[in-house]
């Protein structure tokens, strides 16, 4: 790897980092504003700089200032090291997972091929799932290190929930992997560029609709947000970060939003063709009725990035809408849903997918 | 009434119901987002996008029966209509009213409040004082809601603020002429009835007719 | 002995008894305005109407003598209608002053109207205007409009005080209560007309606008104004400190006791309660510097203990007060005389006899001189105040026989103690309550303060002694403690605490008991429950 390659990788990492963190930060604003608009309200709009309010966009800024200047409190008798480590772990794994997300097609500049993916890993999907699973350590550590029974119980609830749903989550994507035959996300996205019967884009949702719903449900549970926010229960029950204040609390808070973005990215990548635009091939649009519209390859890549971003934003919006529409599950309902409904359905989905594949490709593939 | 309703199969599979809910909230979202946007351009102003009142700038219209901060009604000559009967003090469930009664020069009035304090930090705004008052001397119709203050003391209204709802703490100058007890004079009783009525009304021959005309409440 | 039936119950009463008295003895209350058991019968208010069988109309219970076989009904539709009509007449010219009227809350017009009133009044005409808020004298305010002309006050001034200041003037609806020309209602019992007035026509100037009567709590007590020991109710407010400048006691009302004061009390006693809240000692001080009870008691007990060890009892003088309760006087005797062996302990001070009359006011202004005598702290007999003839018949006899004789040697009086102080023979002086400046002059007390080794004042109020004493121990007034006073007729009367002692002040009994404990000479149990205390029948009395 040359120095230029390294620079390019760093630049990519910086772009992803910048985009994700800003999107997560913006989520606090979207959360307030979207809920307000859904509920016929106006929403937070009082933070202002020199009288300019800008639709309340300064509120995330004010939040950040508040988080930074608040007292960082560690309870007496808590494990100071673990207590401090937990939020960092939490946010680190959430952010590290983004390295595996391809956000555009490969770019050719000056004979150099740049994959628009921070880390080009053959098993990017496994990597991302590994990172997401490690995130539970931050939660458990937070509850464990707080020396607070409520925090500890909250952490137990969180880990139980995350483990239950990770299984369904993992199995739900097996079908996708089986169909496209790869764990490399970039390849997986590229494979979704094909069409079924010449007109329908071969996106994950088309070939694996059941898996998509299971994935969506399990992924939302993974982000620990309403209606699956039992670990936190910020409104009435007490969650694992009850003993956190200031920016450490802010990091847990941020982790939620980063995970939301992560899940939106995964959903886009696995089921909505990633950066694909229907009928857009590297040299232009090839419509099913035969018309061809040539497009500059660079523009195609940029359109792909735009398409990916748009899909991610749409998912973010959907998650937010669901979060402000549904009430919280009861804990037994949550477990029931995870183990008795999602898990068997996902297994069945794998079986059916396998059967269909075996029938379509009797000689194997 | 059955406490638990059995869910139908359609409801039990969740997904349709969730979609129905998301549909409802999204409908509100897009309608309001659209209205907010076009309001920027001055269109469809009569269709509200939000029910919010932007409170300090845009006060919410109050119902006529709304119980706001108290006031003492005032006679024409600038004395309180209150006769110091202490019925409000008696009925007050929060015990926030403090009255010290004094001798009024007119024997037909007989009694008046030398001191009349209401501790708004304690008041529960039940309005019993208004109900109990036999003289229509205390009302809760000032439409003042913002009684917040930086100290508990600043929430204690004395006779100045109660007689003139426009006055806000700190009251620097005492405008009341009749003898009364207030913090401005170091909680001493200051003032004289001569400054209100000229000569002492006991010596005035037509004192009855003179006072009978004063029963009108100054609005 | 006529036997009659009232409300279905039979009773036999003395001949000449009226129906209202007979009913009262059965516990049946008949409403009344003009009738007062202590006054002659006027029969003019008509509210006490009762139904008597075979009588054509309703009869007034107050002036109908009982007859054998009489059947009386004090209730029922006919009686209630009658009372309703009477109330309608009484209220024709009664103003709607209740909110500003001091009587409101204890007003019989209000009370009976609640029961028998015509709630939908028919009177639409102008009410007759009369004078309002007219002072009749130093203590009483008249509102002629509120008067229902029951004439109780007129009969009181005619029959009880025999001063006759009040009368009813004019005729018809212009009739009103007033003073005879040139007179003023300023007799020594004038406050009682407020008590007898069933409505708000006569109100107390001292209590005027101070508080509403429903704020008041009441506690039975005994007046400490003189040795008559009139029974009183202390009306106090402790939860509204803004009233009457923070005073707790709002007024004093007489309490019926047939043997002592009947329904009455003198003005001196009625208005003499202000010392309870004014000019009180609030802090323990040592030479003007505030200190704590703990320190004071330790030091004083130490000083007394040293005196006992060094056998210097002759150098201590104690002047107890006949204002203290019998129990406290006994404790003083137990502590200073019996335990420490001090002989110079005497409550007899050279006080000038106060005003007196042959009714309730006694010259001896101490409520418990007899108690001091029985404790052996005031010589062997009543010397200054003579025992007065008994005004109300049967009184407890045999007090003098039951009294403990003075112990050991004949003790000297307070004046002698002060003389010995000045002569340098006594250098420790303990004074209870007395104002030595008033009794012996400022120069003497100043000299005492300079020359005495230890000068302790234990009292409730600031006075000359508290200014000059080295140690000032604030004690509770009678309303703040339990105890008994023995009056000049030898009747011991118990009274109970109305409210807690003010600030740091403590009951004298508590102070003395704690001194006992620290002296460790006599255990506190022995001090509180002495085997050789005053005869038990002396404490008891009519509480």
DSSP labels, C300-368: HHHHHHHHHHTT-GGGEEEE--TTS-HHHHHHHIIIIIIIT----B-----PPP----SSS--S---TT
Q: Which residue of C has its CA nearest to B102?
A: C209
How many C-beta atoms lie closer than 10 Å to residue A180's C-beta? 21
Place of tokens 């302790």: C456
- Indicate yes or no: CB of B50 within 8 angstroms of CB of A324: no
Q: Say which residues have a Cβ less than 8 Å from residue C394's Cβ, sequence separation at least 6.
A: C259
- The answer for A 311-330 residues in CB contact with B (under 8 A) is 318, 321-322, 324-326
- Classify strands C483-486 and C471-474 as parallel, antiparallel or unpaired: unpaired
How many C-beta atoms lie closer than 10 Å to residue B4's C-beta? 5
CA dist., res. C504 & res. B87, Å (int): 34
- Range C284-350+365-449+466-538 classified under CATH 1.10.3470.10: no
How confident is the model over A324-343, as a mean pLDDT? 90
B148 touches chain A (CB under 8 A): no
DSSP symbols for A154-222: HHHHHHHHHHHHHHHHHHHHHHHHHHH--S-HHHHHHHTTSEETTTEE--HHHH-HHHHHHHHHHHHHH
CB pairs under 8 A between A and B: 42
Give how far A40 is from chain B: nearest CA, Å. 4
Q: Return the residue in B50, B51, B53 with the most chain A beta carbons within 10 A, the one to mutate for interface testing.
A: B50
Question: Of C100, C211, C212, which is closest to B110 when you measure between CB atoms?
Answer: C100
Domain spans, chain C: 3-90, 126-276, 284-350+365-449+466-538
The answer to whether B and C touch (≥3 CB pairs < 8 Å) is yes
Question: In this predicted model, what pLDDT tens digit does every residue of B35-87 receive, in sequence order?
Answer: 999 998 988 888 888 898 888 888 888 999 999 999 999 998 889 999 999 99
* C204, C153 Cβ separation under 8 angstroms: no
> What pLDDT was estimated at residue C41?
95
B36 touches chain A (CB under 8 A): yes
Which CATH class name applies to C3-90? alpha beta
How many C-beta atoms lie closer than 10 Å to residue C493's C-beta? 27
**What does each C-alpha distance from C449 to B47, C429, C436, C437, C442 come to in angstroms?**
91, 10, 11, 11, 11
Q: Which helix (H) or strand (E) holds C252?
A: strand C249-254
> What pLDDT was estimated at residue B200?
56
Q: Which residue of A has its CA nearest to B47?
A: A40
CA dist., res. C208 & res. C251, Å (int): 10
Partners for B (CB, 8 Å, 3+ pairs)? A, C
Sign of CA dihedral A255, A256, A260, A261: negative
For chain A, give the number of residues: 365
B38 touches chain A (CB under 8 A): no
> What pLDDT was estimated at residue C529?
41
Mark A94-131 as b/e (b = at least 16 C-beta within 10 Å).
bbbbbbbbbbbbbbeeeeeebbbbbebbeebbebbbeb
Question: Of B100, B107, B134, which is closest to C99 when you measure between CB atoms?
Answer: B134
Q: Which residue of B has its CA nearest to A55?
A: B36
CA dist., res. A68 & res. A248, Å (int): 9
- Proportion of chain A above pLDDT 70, given as a percent: 99
* B111, C100 Cβ separation under 8 angstroms: yes
- Classify strands C428-432 and C454-459 as parallel, antiparallel or unpaired: parallel
Question: Of B85, B108, B115, which is closest to C99 when you measure between CB atoms?
Answer: B85
- Indicate yes or no: CB of B26 within 8 angstroms of CB of A40: no
Partners for C (CB, 8 Å, 3+ pairs)? B
Question: What is the complex's ipTM, to 2 decimals?
Answer: 0.86
* A128, A263 Cβ separation under 8 angstroms: no
Mark B186-203 as b/e (b = at least 16 C-beta within 10 Å).
eeeebbebeebbeeebee
The second-level CATH assignment, the architecture, of C126-276 is: 2-Layer Sandwich (3.30)
**What does each C-alpha distance from C141 to A163, B54, B201, C227, C234 come to in angstroms?**
88, 59, 18, 29, 21
How confident is the model over A83-95, as a mean pLDDT? 93
Question: Of B15, B24, B29, which is closest to A37 when you measure between CB atoms?
Answer: B29
Which residues, in sequence order, are bridge partners of residue A293? Answer: A285
Which one, of C25, C242, A309, lies nearest residue B101 by Cα?
C242
Cβ burial of C79 (10 Å; 0-12, 13-18, 19+) is: buried
* B178, B196 Cβ separation under 8 angstroms: yes
Question: Of B25, B33, B52, which is closest to A41 when you measure between CB atoms?
Answer: B52
Question: In this predicted model, what pLDDT tens digit does every residue of C219-272 receive, in sequence order?
Answer: 999 999 999 999 999 999 999 999 988 899 999 999 999 989 999 999 999 999
How many C-beta atoms lie closer than 10 Å to residue A304's C-beta? 26
> What pLDDT was estimated at residue B201?
53
Partners for A (CB, 8 Å, 3+ pairs)? B
- Indicate yes or no: CB of B100 within 8 angstroms of CB of C133: no
Question: In this predicted model, what pLDDT tens digit does every residue of C105-140 receive, in sequence order?
Answer: 999 999 999 999 989 989 889 999 999 999 999 999
Query: How sure is the predictor about C155, in pLDDT bands with cuts at 50, 70 and 90?
Result: very high
CA C451 to chain centre: 40
Q: Return the residue in C212, C215, C237, C241 with the most chain B beta carbons within 10 A, the one to mutate for interface testing.
A: C212
Find the helix packing angle between A124-145 and A80-96, rounded to 10°. 160
- Proportion of chain C above pLDDT 90, given as a percent: 71
How confident is the model over A86-90, as a mean pLDDT? 93
Residues of chain C neighbouring B86 (CB-CB closer than 8 A): 211-212, 215
What tokens does C430 get? Answer: 């303990």
pTM, two decimal places: 0.75
* A21, A13 Cβ separation under 8 angstroms: no
Sign of CA dihedral A97, A331, A312, A197: positive
CA C305 to chain centre: 39
Dump strand ranges (E) for chain B: 71-72, 97-103, 111-119, 138-139, 156-157, 180-182, 188-190
What tokens does C294 get? Answer: 């703990």
The answer to whether A and B touch (≥3 CB pairs < 8 Å) is yes
Residues of chain A neighbouring B27 (CB-CB closer than 8 A): none
CA dist., res. A329 & res. A335, Å (int): 10
- Tens digit of pLDDT per residue, chain B (219 long)? 677 888 888 888 778 888 999 999 999 999 999 999 999 898 888 888 889 888 888 888 899 999 999 999 999 888 999 999 999 999 999 999 999 999 999 888 999 999 999 999 999 999 999 999 999 999 999 988 888 889 998 899 989 999 998 887 778 788 888 999 888 888 888 888 888 887 655 544 443 433 333 444 444
Give how far A325 is from chain B: nearest CA, Å. 6
CA dist., res. C343 & res. C322, Å (int): 18
DSSP symbols for C37-87: TTS-----S-TTEEEETT-SS-EEGGG-B--TT-EEES-SHHHHHHHHHHH
- Classify strands C483-486 and C492-495 as parallel, antiparallel or unpaired: antiparallel
Question: Of B25, B36, B51, which is closest to A38 when you measure between CB atoms?
Answer: B25
Which one, of A169, A97, A184, lies nearest residue A135 by Cα?
A97
* C235, C250 Cβ separation under 8 angstroms: yes
Q: What is the C-alpha R_g of chain B?
A: 27
Question: Of B18, B24, B36, which is closest to A37 when you measure between CB atoms?
Answer: B36
How confident is the model over A224-228, as a mean pLDDT? 85
A46 touches chain B (CB under 8 A): no
- Fill in the DSSP letter of residue C171: S
Residues of chain C neighbouring B118 (CB-CB closer than 8 A): none
The answer to whether A and C touch (≥3 CB pairs < 8 Å) is no
DSSP symbols for C420-478: HHHTTS--EEEEES--HHHHH-HHHHHHHHHH-SEEEEEESB--HHHHH-SEEEEB--G
* C73, C51 Cβ separation under 8 angstroms: yes
Question: In this predicted model, what pLDDT tens digit does every residue of C503-535 receive, in sequence order?
Answer: 899 999 999 999 988 886 444 444 444 434 444
Question: In this predicted model, what pLDDT tens digit does every residue of A265-319 receive, in sequence order?
Answer: 999 999 999 999 988 888 888 888 888 888 888 889 999 999 999 999 999 999 9
Query: How sure is the predictor about A40, in pLDDT bands with cuts at 50, 70 and 90?
Result: very high
- Indicate yes or no: CB of C209 within 8 angstroms of CB of B115: no
CA dist., res. A240 & res. A233, Å (int): 9
Question: In this predicted model, what pLDDT tens digit does every residue of A121-179 receive, in sequence order?
Answer: 889 999 999 998 898 899 999 999 999 999 999 899 888 888 889 899 999 999 999 99
Q: Return the residue in A30, A34, A37, A51 with the most chain B beta carbons within 10 A, the one to mutate for interface testing.
A: A37
Question: Of C97, C209, C215, which is closest to B103 when you measure between CB atoms?
Answer: C209
Query: How sure is the predictor about A365, in pLDDT bands with cuts at 50, 70 and 90?
Result: low
> What pLDDT was estimated at residue C358?
87
Q: Which helix (H) or strand (E) holds A289?
A: none
Dump strand ranges (E) for B50-94: 71-72
Cβ burial of A291 (10 Å; 0-12, 13-18, 19+) is: exposed
Which one, of A23, A96, A93, A118, lies nearest residue A309 by Cα?
A23
CA dist., res. C172 & res. C149, Å (int): 11
φ, ψ (nearest 5 deg) of residue C317: -120, 135
Place of tokens 């933070």: A47
> What mean pLDDT is reported for chain A?
89
**What does each C-alpha distance from B110 to B103, C101, C132 come to in angstroms?**
6, 9, 9
């Amino acid at each position: 790897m040359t120095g230029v390659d390294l620079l390019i990788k760093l630049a990519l990492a910086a772009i992803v980092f910048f985009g994700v963190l800003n999107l997560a930060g913006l989520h606090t604003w979207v959360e307030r504003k979207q809920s307000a608009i859904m509920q016929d309200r106006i929403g937070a709009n009082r933070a202002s700089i020199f009288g300019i309010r800008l639709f309340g966009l300064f509120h995330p800024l004010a939040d950040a200032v508040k988080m930074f200047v608040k007292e960082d409190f560690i309870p007496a008798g808590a494990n100071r090291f673990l207590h401090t480590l937990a939020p960092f772990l939490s946010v680190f794994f959430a952010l590290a997972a983004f390295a595996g997300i391809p956000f555009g097609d490969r770019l050719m500049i000056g004979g150099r091929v740049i994959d628009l993916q921070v880390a080009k890993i053959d098993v990017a999907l496994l990597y991302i799932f590994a990172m997401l699973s490690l995130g539970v350590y931050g939660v458990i550590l937070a509850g464990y290190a707080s020396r607070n029974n409520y925090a500890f119980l909250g952490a137990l609830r969180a880990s139980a929930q995350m483990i239950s749903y990770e299984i369904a989550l993992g199995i739900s994507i097996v079908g996708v992997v089986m169909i496209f035959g790869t764990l490399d996300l970039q390849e997986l996205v590229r494979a979704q560029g094909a069409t079924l019967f010449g007109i329908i884009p071969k996106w994950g949702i088309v070939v694996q609709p059941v898996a998509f719903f299971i994935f969506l449900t399990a992924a939302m549970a993974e982000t620990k947000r309403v209606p699956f926010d039992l670990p936190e229960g910020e409104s009435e029950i007490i969650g694992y970060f009850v003993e956190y204040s200031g920016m450490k609390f802010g990091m847990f808070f941020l982790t939620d939003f980063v995970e939301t973005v992560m899940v939106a990215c995964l959903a886009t990548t696995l089921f909505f063709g990633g950066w694909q635009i229907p009928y857009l091939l590297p040299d232009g649009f090839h419509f099913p009725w035969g018309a061809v519209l040539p497009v500059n390859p660079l523009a195609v890549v940029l359109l792909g990035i735009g398409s990916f971003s748009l899909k991610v934003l749409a998912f973010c919006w959907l998650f937010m809408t669901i979060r402000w529409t549904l009430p919280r599950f009861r804990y037994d309902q949550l477990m029931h849903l995870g183990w008795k409904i999602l898990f068997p359905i996902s297994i069945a989905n794998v079986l059916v997918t396998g059967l269909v594949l075996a029938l379509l490709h009797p000689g194997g593939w | 009434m059955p406490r638990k309703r059995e869910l139908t199969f359609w409801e039990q599979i969740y997904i349709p119901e969730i979609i129905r809910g998301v549909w409802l909230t999204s409908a509100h979202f897009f309608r309001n987002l659209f209205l907010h946007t076009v309001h920027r351009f001055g269109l469809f102003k009569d269709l509200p996008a939000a029910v919010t009142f932007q409170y300090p700038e845009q006060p919410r219209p109050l119902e006529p029966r709304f119980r706001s901060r108290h006031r003492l009604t005032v006679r024409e000559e600038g004395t309180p209509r209150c006769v110091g009967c202490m019925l409000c003090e008696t009925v007050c469930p929060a015990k926030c009213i403090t009255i010290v009664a004094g001798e009024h020069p007119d024997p037909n009035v007989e009694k008046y409040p030398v001191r009349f304090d209401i501790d708004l930090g304690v008041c529960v705004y039940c309005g019993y004082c208004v109900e109990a008052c036999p003289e229509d001397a205390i009302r809760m119709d000032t439409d003042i809601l913002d009684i917040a203050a930086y100290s508990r003391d600043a929430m204690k209204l004395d006779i100045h603020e109660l007689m003139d709802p426009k006055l806000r703490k700190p009251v620097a100058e005492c405008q009341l002429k009749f003898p009364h007890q207030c913090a401005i004079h170091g909680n001493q009783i200051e003032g004289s009835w001569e400054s209100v009525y000229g000569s002492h009304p006991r010596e005035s021959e037509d004192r009855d007719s003179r006072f009978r005309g004063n029963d009108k409440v100054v609005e | 002995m006529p036997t009659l039936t009232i409300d279905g119950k039979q009773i036999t009463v003395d001949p000449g008894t009226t129906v209202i008295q007979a009913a009262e003895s059965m516990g049946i209350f008949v409403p009344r305005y003009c009738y007062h058991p202590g006054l002659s019968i006027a029969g003019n208010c008509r509210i006490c109407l009762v139904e008597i069988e075979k009588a054509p109309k309703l009869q007034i219970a107050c002036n109908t003598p009982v007859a054998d076989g009489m059947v009386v009904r004090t209730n029922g539709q006919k009686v209630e209608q009658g009372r309703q009509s009477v109330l309608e007449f009484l209220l024709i010219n009664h103003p709607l002053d209740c909110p500003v009227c001091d009587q409101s809350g204890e007003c019989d017009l209000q009370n009976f109207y609640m029961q028998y009133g015509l709630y939908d009044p028919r009177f639409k005409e102008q009410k007759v205007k009369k004078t309002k808020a007219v002072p009749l004298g130093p203590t009483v305010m008249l509102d002629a409009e509120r008067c229902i002309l029951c004439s109780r006050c007129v009969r009181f001034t005619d029959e009880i005080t025999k001063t006759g200041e009040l009368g009813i003037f004019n005729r018809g609806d212009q009739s009103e209560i007033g003073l005879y020309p040139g007179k003023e209602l300023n007799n020594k019992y004038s406050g009682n007309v407020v008590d007898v007035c069933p409505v708000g026509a006569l109100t107390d100037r001292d209590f005027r606008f101070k508080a509403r009567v429903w704020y008041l709590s009441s506690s039975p007590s005994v007046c400490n104004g003189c040795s008559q020991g009139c029974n009183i109710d202390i009306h106090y407010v402790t939860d509204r400190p803004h009233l009457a400048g923070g005073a707790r006691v709002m007024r004093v009302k007489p309490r019926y006791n047939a043997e002592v004061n009947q329904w009455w009390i003198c003005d001196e006693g009625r208005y003499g309660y202000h010392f309870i809240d004014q000019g009180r000692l609030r802090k323990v001080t040592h030479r003007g510097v505030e200190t704590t009870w703990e320190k004071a008691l330790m030091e004083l007990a130490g000083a007394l203990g040293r005196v006992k060890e060094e056998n210097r009892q002759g150098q201590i003088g104690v002047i107890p007060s006949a204002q203290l309760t019998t129990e406290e006087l006994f404790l003083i005797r137990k502590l200073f005389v019996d335990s420490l062996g001090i002989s110079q302990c005497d409550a007899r001070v050279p006080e000038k006899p106060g005003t007196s009359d042959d009714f309730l006011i006694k010259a001896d202004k101490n409520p418990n001189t007899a108690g001091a005598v029985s404790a052996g702290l005031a010589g062997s007999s009543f010397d200054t105040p003579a025992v007065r003839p008994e005004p109300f018949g049967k009184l407890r006899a045999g007090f003098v026989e039951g009294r403990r004789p003075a112990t050991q040697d004949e003790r000297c009086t307070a004046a002698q103690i002060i003389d010995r102080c000045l002569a340098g023979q006594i250098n420790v002086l303990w004074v209870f309550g007395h104002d030595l400046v008033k009794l012996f002059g400022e120069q003497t007390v100043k000299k005492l303060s300079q020359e005495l080794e230890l000068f302790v004042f234990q009292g409730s109020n600031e006075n000359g002694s508290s200014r000059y004493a080295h140690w000032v121990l604030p004690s509770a007034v009678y309303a703040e403690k339990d105890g008994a006073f023995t009056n000049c007729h030898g009747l011991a009367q118990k009274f109970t605490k109305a409210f807690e002692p003010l600030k740091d002040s403590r009951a004298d009994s508590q102070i003395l008991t704690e001194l006992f404990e620290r002296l460790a000479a006599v255990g506190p149990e022995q001090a509180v429950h002495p085997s050789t205390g005053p005869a038990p029948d002396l404490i008891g009395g009519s509480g």
